[in-house]
């Protein structure tokens, strides 16, 4: 690693969740969120 090199990035986060085949052979995502949840979050589950 070059500790003197600067890397410009954007604010935010990225999470790679690949799709998989369920018991019926359908491709499904491990989680689903909508646009509002992506920007505002969801209530905590206690």
Listed by start position, the domains of the chain span 15-40
Question: What is the pLDDT confidence band of residue 27, given thresholds at 50, 70 and 90?
Answer: very high
CB 30 within 8 A of CB 20: yes
Buried b (16+ CB within 10 A) or exposed e, 3-13: eeeeeeeeeee
29-41 average pLDDT score: 83
pTM of the full predicted structure?
A: 0.38
Q: Which residues make beta-bridge pairs with 28?
A: 20
Pick the residue with more confidence: 34 or 13? 34
Q: What is the pLDDT of residue 3?
A: 66
Q: Is 42 left (phi over 0), alpha (psi -120 to 50) or beta?
A: beta
């Amino acid at each position: 690693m070059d500790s003197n090199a600067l890397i410009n990035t954007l604010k935010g986060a990225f999470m790679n969740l690949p799709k998989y085949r369920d018991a019926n052979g359908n491709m499904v995502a491990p989680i689903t969120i909508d646009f509002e949840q992506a920007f505002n979050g969801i209530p905590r589950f206690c």
